[in-house]
Each structure stands twice: as structure tokens, then as C-alpha cells.
Structure 1
Amino acid sequence: MEEMSLGPNGGLVACFEFLLDNLDWLDEELGEGDEESLVVFDCPGQIELYSHIPVLPTLTKHLQQHHSFSLCASYLIESTFVVDRAKYFAGTLSAMSAMIMLEIPHINILSKMDLVKKQITKREMKRFVDPDPNLLLEDARKDTNEKFWKLNEKVVDLIEDFSMVSYLKLEAGDEDSVAAILSYIDDCLQWSEHQEPRMRDDDEGVRDEELEG
């Protein structure tokens, strides 16, 4: 990065561009795979990669066309954002941008729910799970200079017009929460539709083996 006079974000973008120039390496690493394989790409959080630089859309198209991957994007923002509404709506706009750019099945997740359990009621949380743009207007009237009110109103209109973003709640220590997220991802990937149906005789054979063991 020093040689190229790039900061952390610029260096990350350069790395992804280098990857796109060497996709044959990625193809070799992925190998043939099979329908039962699940590959997780843990991507960095720099929003530039998902908002206006087409590196990840190019990568997802490559995975679909050359590997026949079924893809699902999971976009996480921390639940602590709901305490700061400006951050929450910035995150919501970023999620919307990623959905439009990537053009693949997509779920949005409020992570680390255990951190806000005591700070916000369940009724209030519903307004964040399905974004209520009026939350932004309420804050605008109280804490924002009047000259920004029209800008906030336009942001509200944008969120309402697209009506794309909603969130699932994730608490890592709650098995039901994790299972619900995985179920949504399976549905997006249509994973169960690719599985071979198990015959009754097969199930009985498995049970017999377990009893004999």
C-alpha cells in the first residue's frame, strides 16, 4: 500500500481489482465443488465495495456463470445502530445500495441483538426491523438544523419508494435466532430443492445401523 500511496480502503479496493484480474486463481482454489457444498465468502465491511465500485457485482456474476453458484448476500449492521437513528438510516441506505448493486438474493441482519435488549422495547424494535422512515423525520424536527429538513424528507421518500429493506434479528448466543437466519439463507439458495429425497427404506436402514451400533 505504501508503494502505491494507498490508504487502507484504497488498498482493499486495489486488492479486489487484482483478484478480478486473476480469477483463474480463484477458480482453481474453488475447484469443481458439488451441489451439497456451501461456500462462505466473508467480505470486508468497506461500503465502497458495495455501493459504487463494481468489483463485487463482477465477482458474483463470475461465480454464477462459471461455477453455477446459487448466491445469497447477508448484509449485517450492528443492532447498536438503532440507538443512533442517523447511523441506522445510513446503514439502511447502504444496505439498499448493496441490494441494487449485487442483484442477487439478499437478506439484511441486525446483529448483536443482546447489546440492545435493555435499551429498546420490542414495540420500538418493530419500527427498526421494518424501517419506519418517520423515525428519521421525528429526529430531524428535534435535533437537525431546519435547512436539512428537506434533505431528510427526500431520504424518507427514497426508502418508502423502494421499500426494499427489512431486517432479521441475530443474537449469536440464541440457537433459535441463528437457526432462523440459516433457514432464510437456505430458502434464498433453494438448498433443500437440490437435495436428494430420502426414501423410507433409507431412513429405516439408518435407524437399524444406529441400533446395532
Structure 2
Amino acid sequence: MSAQPRVKPALRFGQVVIGPPGSGKTTYCQGMQEFLTSLGRKVVVVNMDPANEGIPYSCAVDVAELVTLDDVMENLKLGPNGGLLYCMEYVEANLDWLESKLTQYSDCYFLFDCPGQVELYTHQSSVKNIFSQLAKWNFRLTAVHLVDSHYCADPAKFISVLCTSLSTMLHVELPHVNVLSKLDLIEQYGSLAFNLDFYTEVMDLTYLLDHLAADPFFKKFRHLNEKLAEVIQDYSLVSFVPLNVQVSVQLSVVSQM
């Protein structure tokens, strides 16, 4: 007797929320959950960060039930970076656990609150493979990549952020929205060299290079910065949506999905 073919689940939609540590991913998930719930949508938040403690939102699925960073560091004598890499490899090796948790929910919008280590999205493949498996389970996801807006106040750091954002977009291979978070705090970081549109639209970076050249330390790296700017502009992929979680600008993010 032949085995019955496995029925593919209905399409499920959602966001994978990624970005460097401290960029506001958990706060974003909490705000987005509240926002979508107020619109009458059923929302499932999945904590994918084994180091996430004191979660402020209502969490339907928590990867800490499978593995935690503290346990890995204690038992395997690893540091926080190596421990987090191990955790995500462990999740990848136990995707049946994740599938069993997710199949409990249908007709919902999913928010995946992901860990913040940059290497997970630029060099290491575990998180990318998890996202690929989610696609095979009929999830249609958008990557929401949060970047702290204070980097705009430092031209050198902003170029670094642009390179990281571009690398993440190419590595993750999902529909992608880059978000400048904590915009309500941007004035505390100092005055911007250009207006906000310059940073959100990533306009002609030669102006930023000229600004960097005024700094004696970065002047000797002008050629390197020029080449980095050329790479960013040649791909022409990186732009940002400004976000202040205190107001309902989540609409500007949702409208791009």
C-alpha cells in the first residue's frame, strides 16, 4: 500500500525580524503585535533568540524551550558568540521541533524575533537554512532588518552599516525591508551632516566621502571608502524606512510588504 502524499499546509505570511544587537527587534515585535492586533489580525510571535530573556510580548513559540544560550555556555564552555552560533545550529538540527510548534497555528500572521549576532546573517548558514525550511513549509516571509538610527550621525559607521545591510540582503535571500529604528532618539546622537532623506534613500555617497575626508584619521582611507561606496551604489539595493515605534509609522513598513 503506497503512502499517502503529505498535504502541504496553507500559505502563511509573516516577518523575520533581524538586525544587530540593541537595534530594537524585540521592541519592534511588541509594537507590531499590538498594532496588528488592534487591526483585528491574529498574530503569532515566535522568539528565535535563545539569549532573549524577559520577553515583553505575548510569545506563542519560544526557542528557549529547546535550547538556551546560558545552558550552552555553561555546559560546553563557549563564549557568547560561539554559544549563539551553536544554538542556531542546534535549532537547524531540530527543525521537527519547530515545525510541530508552528503547525498549532493557522490563519495567523507570524513575527519571528531573531537573534542579533551579525555573523548569522552574513557568514554562517544556519539561520538562512531555517528561513529556507520555513519557505518549504509554505511560509511567505519578509525580512525586516533593523538598524539603529544613531549610525547616521557618524559617516564612517553609516558606510559600515550600508555594507552590512547589503551583505545581509544578499545572504538571507528574502524580500527585504531595511528599517532605521529609534528615530525618536536620533537628535540625542548629534546633528546629521545631511537631511534624513539622504540616509533613507542612500543618495550619492560621494558627499558622505567628502565629509569623511575632513577627518584626519579617515583621510588616509579615502580610497578604501570610495571602493566600498562603489560596491553599495553598484548593487543599488539598500534603502531605509524610518521608524519611531512610539507612533503608528508601522504602516509605512507594512505597506512595503
- For 1:38, give the aligned amino acid: Y
Does 2:244 align with 1:171?
yes
Between the two structures, name the one with larger relative contact order (CA 8 Å, sep ≥ 6).
Answer: 2
Contact 2:153–2:192 (CA<8 Å) still a contact in 1?
no
Report 1:7-156 matches (<5 A).
Answer: 7-31=79-103, 33-34=105-106, 36-65=107-136, 67-117=137-187, 119-120=190-191, 124-132=195-203, 133-143=205-215, 144-156=217-229
Measure how far apart 1:5 and its partner are. 3.1
In 2: Cα distance, 1:99 partner to 1:40 partner:
18
Residue 4 of structure 1, aligned match among 72, 76, 79: 76
Secondary structure of the structure 1 residue equivalent to 2:82: helix
In 2: Cα distance, 1:57 partner to 1:116 partner:
31
Per-residue CA deviation, residues 22-76 of structure 1 (Å, 9 max, x unaligned), is: 1110011111543x311111112110110010111101110001x1000100000
Secondary structure of the structure 2 residue equivalent to 1:72: strand
- For 1:49, give the aligned amino acid: L
In 1: Cα distance, 2:96 partner to 2:214 partner:
54
Name structure 2 gaps, 5 residues minimum: 1-72
Name structure 1 gaps, 5 residues minimum: 189-213
Contact 2:159–2:229 (CA<8 Å) still a contact in 1?
no
Count how many residue pairs are aligned between Structure 1 and Structure 2: 182
TM-score relative to the length of structure 2: 0.66
Secondary structure of the structure 2 residue equivalent to 1:77: strand
Q: Computing the radius of gyration over CA atoms, which structure comes out larger, 1 or 2?
A: 1
In 1: Cα distance, 2:74 partner to 2:214 partner:
45
- Whichever structure has more helix as a proportion of its residues is 1
Contact 2:152–2:192 (CA<8 Å) still a contact in 1?
no
Contact 2:122–2:167 (CA<8 Å) still a contact in 1?
yes
Contact 2:181–2:242 (CA<8 Å) still a contact in 1?
yes
Secondary structure of the structure 2 residue equivalent to 1:76: strand
Per-residue CA deviation, residues 159-197 of structure 1 (Å, 9 max, x unaligned), is: 11011100001011122x12222222xxx3xxxxxxxxx
Q: How well do the aligned residues superpose, as a CA RMSD in angstroms?
A: 2.0
Secondary structure of the structure 1 residue equivalent to 2:112: coil
- Whichever structure has more strand as a proportion of its residues is 2
Measure how far apart 1:120 and its partner are. 4.5
TM-score relative to the length of structure 1: 0.79
Secondary structure of the structure 2 residue equivalent to 1:15: helix
Q: 1:47 to 1:121 in 2, by over 3 A?
A: closer
In 2: Cα distance, 1:146 partner to 1:79 partner:
24
Bigger Cα displacement from structure 2, 12-21 vs 2-11: 2-11
Residue 233 of structure 2, aligned match among 122, 147, 160: 160
Measure how far apart 1:139 and its partner are. 3.2
Q: 1:120 to 1:3 in 2, by over 3 A?
A: same
- For 2:120, give the aligned amino acid: L
Contact 1:82–1:128 (CA<8 Å) still a contact in 2?
yes
Indicate the percent of aligned positions where both proteins have the same amino acid: 35
